[in-house]
Structure 1
């Protein structure tokens, strides 16, 4: 609880935002939606936020997490602050993300059959032979995504050569979207796969899988966009 000018405020919820690839706290902006829309107060460290109970504030609260420098793709979350502790959520790399040297990945863009951009997609890459997840990404408002191959166990499936293939599946909601879909944070407030998403958010549909060619320690960029059906 905090006090000031004769008023006592109770903490409604805390929120921790991390980099989905590096696991470190992400210096971003979190804004609540609705009639009382406002930026959440920052904690002592970047990436940590808090919302105080104020008159008219009711659960659940929808928040938008975004980065003004486009290093991360925005995400929206539904926070049932009456029951959670301090949930942790993560952001995927955006167009302005600076991969470290030697990173393996792909920059791409998603369009529909008419050539119009498809924003706010989820992209999942798997090794064709083992079906092991190799990387995940979110598309931004421009239909662009940056998928980085996950280091660690996923590299067990890497061939002993510089080039290899991945199966890239694009998931999207049917119909146009004005912004990222709001994803529910579990009531228990546990750190679950909502942080990185082993699959697509609820309601998303598999819109097609394409075999892509990758090169170790390079960020490749296909000449043509990915067209979904």
Structure 2
């Protein structure tokens, strides 16, 4: 008796908390972008992926419903409660013919080759552990908030600096940077640390989010961070943990077209406390 398989996994998504390194334990939104025509306008809508427990989502190749997902797929990960900063990732899928061909040949495409594990960095409402060392701030460009900036904290002498913390800015230019290591200073347990704060942003800088977004068909046109292209995970040899935990997926590599600001700032933070800096950090490409 021959059985008919009605669906196969196209993509699994596990959303990881960049601070804990574990799958998020709070609900977030994961969706895929799909083009639509509305009132003779070409739009993009965000269709939610199927949830499979907290922090886990899936998209199926389903023979019963509609056309196959577009290639490459744009995945949107968002948290309306601002515990995490959103990301958009462009992912080449394993197509249904490729999966079926592997099965016909007596093999399969491993599930881990169809798994995306993006890390989300803390947003403004993230629940920080007691004793965290960090910095809250906002990035401006030409006097306006710069959406989706990237921020790095560095220590050490010129030419031999270490990155000791990273942050992703949100659509309001706000960021929460956690100092994850003190580098060579760990051995001395200092009370305060001098950081060089470096801002990275698009060049030329994108306009600030705000009033313009409200004109986009009542929210049907998704706006958000720039898309980050993710290479397709190979199926042979079977993916290892390092294939699913790359610097790109950890949020350490800025999106295409980003560059360092020509202006930086030095900030002193107290170990074990989060400093709130009221003066915006400038981005000057």
Common fold by TM > 0.5: yes
- Alignment partners' CA distance in 1, 2:269 and 2:205: 31
Conserved 8 A contact 2:10-2:114: no
Is the aligned partner of 1:183 residue 2:215?
A: no
Counterpart for residue 170 of structure 2? 140
Deviations 1:89-129 (A, max 9, x none): 1001001101000000000001113x111010111111133
Counterpart for residue 215 of structure 2? none
Structure 1: segments with no counterpart, 5+ residues: none
1:26-175 map, 5 Å: 26=24, 27=26, 28-35=28-35, 37-43=46-52, 45-54=53-62, 55-56=66-67, 57-82=69-94, 84-113=113-142, 115-129=143-157, 130-151=160-181, 154-158=182-186, 159-173=188-202, 174-175=204-205
Is the aligned partner of 1:196 residue 2:205?
A: no
- For residue 215 of structure 1, report the CA deviation from its aligned partner: 0.7
Larger Rg: 2
Conserved 8 A contact 1:11-1:52: yes
- Alignment partners' CA distance in 2, 1:198 and 1:131: 16
- Alignment partners' CA distance in 1, 2:117 and 2:253: 18
Counterpart for residue 11 of structure 1? 9
Structure 2: segments with no counterpart, 5+ residues: 36-44, 96-112, 208-222, 235-242
Counterpart for residue 20 of structure 1? 18
What TM-score, normalized by structure 1, do the two folds share? 0.89
Conserved 8 A contact 1:121-1:138: yes
Conserved 8 A contact 1:164-1:214: yes
Give the secondary structure class of the aligned counterpart of 2:114.
coil
Give the secondary structure class of the aligned counterpart of 1:167.
strand
Give the secondary structure class of the aligned counterpart of 1:10.
strand
- Structural RMSD (CA): 2.1
Deviations 1:126-166 (A, max 9, x none): 11334111010000011000000114xx4432454311111
After TM superposition, the structure 1 stretch with the greater mean CA deviation from structure 2, 180-189 or 192-201, is 192-201
What TM-score, normalized by structure 2, do the two folds share? 0.72
